[in-house]
């Protein structure tokens, strides 16, 4: 039986892995989000959405200022900071939840952490910006290490994910980030075919022996659209199915756009999957 990772405290909240599934609510401070929920530079709308997510059951709010969809238009670090910093500052005061910065730029991560962010979510797992791991280490915060398959040769879904995660974990260790502060993400939708994404969910349990909490982000993604033949605004039920399956195969956290509905999916899936002792 796989040993559960030790608890992690973020903004005074204890995350007890294995007891229940935690929910991250997505706040896209962009104009070109694939999911159609980009808030642009509307700080008030972002704060209102964050407060609503908190009321609907989110455990963490994840703020991002650059789209990561396929073919996204890159933005400068300065532009990214101008988008996310006002929102982070306001959210910390408005919602009593940990706030995460979704970025792959060390400069943006550092500015966000100085503004009060509690967690770094790097979709390149410390492998894009060589200064990212050091920035996280300086602030002593937890981080999400994701495997990003984009531009990498394919051999085997789980094998590639494992090697990518191990590389990110090694970079974290070299920078002085304690292993128990890391969360891993297999990178659903980042450089995979539709069939490979589905295989990832089927085989997710093979990653539990890494011994770190697993985050999965399937929400509204194109694989769901391809399977169901539906546009992004009609992928709620498909997302719900992937969230439930991810939980059944070992996910500890899910990152979603539809917090109210997915929080209910998590509660129901947890009632089935987790034993009374765990719950």
Confidence of residue 25 (pLDDT cuts 50, 70, 90): very high
DSSP-derived 3-state class of residue 8: strand
- Name, in order, each residue with C-beta under 8 angstroms of 31's C-beta and a sequence gap of 6 or more: 38, 40
Segment 256-273 mean pLDDT? 98
Residue 240 burial by CB count (10 A; 0-12/13-18/19+): exposed, middle or buried? Answer: buried
**Does pTM top 0.85 for this prediction?**
yes
Write out the two tokens for 118.
């509690």
Instruction: Report whether 214 contacts 245 (CB < 8 A).
Output: no
Per-residue model confidence as pLDDT tens digits over 118-175 = 999 999 999 999 999 999 999 999 999 999 999 999 999 999 999 999 999 999 999 9
Q: Is 255 a catalytic residue?
A: yes
Which secondary-structure segment (H or E) carries 259? helix 259-273
Confidence of residue 39 (pLDDT cuts 50, 70, 90): low
Distance of alpha carbon 236 from alpha carbon 50, whole angstroms: 19
What is the CATH architecture assignment of 14-273?
Answer: Alpha-Beta Barrel (3.20)
Catalytic residue among 90, 255, 260, 267: 255
Please report, rounded to a whole number, the percentage of residues in the chain having pLDDT higher than 90: 88
Instruction: Report whether 133 contacts 175 (CB < 8 A).
Output: yes
What is residue 35's predicted lDDT score, i.e. its pLDDT? 44
Is the pLDDT at 268 greater than 60? The verdict is yes
Per-residue model confidence as pLDDT tens digits over 210-244 = 999 999 999 999 999 999 999 999 999 999 999 99
Which secondary-structure segment (H or E) carries 226? helix 222-228
Distance of alpha carbon 195 from alpha carbon 214, whole angstroms: 21
Question: Burial letters for 10-33: b for 16+ Cβ neighbours within 10 Å, e otherwise?
Answer: beeeebebbbbbbbbbbbbbbeeb
Segment 18-46 mean pLDDT? 78
Catalytic residue among 20, 181, 221, 235: 221
Confidence of residue 34 (pLDDT cuts 50, 70, 90): very low
């Amino acid at each position: 039986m796989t040993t559960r990772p030790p608890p992690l405290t973020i903004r005074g909240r204890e995350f007890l892995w294995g007891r229940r599934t935690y929910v991250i609510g997505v706040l896209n401070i962009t104009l070109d989000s694939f999911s159609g929920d980009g808030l642009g530079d509307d700080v008030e709308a972002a704060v209102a959405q964050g407060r609503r997510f908190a009321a609907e059951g989110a455990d963490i709010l994840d703020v991002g200022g650059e789209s990561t969809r396929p073919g996204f238009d890159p933005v400068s670090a300065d532009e990214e900071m101008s988008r996310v910093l006002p929102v982070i500052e306001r959210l910390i005061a408005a919602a009593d939840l940990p706030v995460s910065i979704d970025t792959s730029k060390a400069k943006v991560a550092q500015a966000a952490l100085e503004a009060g962010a509690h967690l770094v979510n790097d979709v390149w797992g410390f492998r894009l910006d060589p200064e990212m791991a050091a920035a996280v280490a300086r602030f002593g915060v937890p981080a999400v290490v994701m495997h990003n398959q984009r531009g990498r040769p394919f051999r085997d879904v789980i094998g590639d994910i494992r090697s990518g995660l191990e590389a990110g974990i090694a970079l974290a260790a070299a920078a002085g980030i304690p292993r128990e502060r890391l969360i891993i993400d297999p990178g659903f939708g980042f450089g995979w075919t539709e069939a490979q994404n589905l295989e990832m969910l089927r085989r997710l349990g093979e990653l539990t022996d890494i011994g770190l909490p697993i985050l999965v982000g399937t929400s509204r993604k194109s694989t769901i659209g391809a399977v169901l033949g539906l546009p992004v605004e009609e992928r709620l039920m498909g997302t719900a199915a992937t969230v439930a399956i991810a939980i059944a195969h070992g996910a500890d956290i899910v990152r979603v756009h539809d917090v109210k509905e997915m929080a209910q999916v998590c509660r129901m899936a947890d009632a089935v999957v987790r034993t009374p002792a765990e719950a």
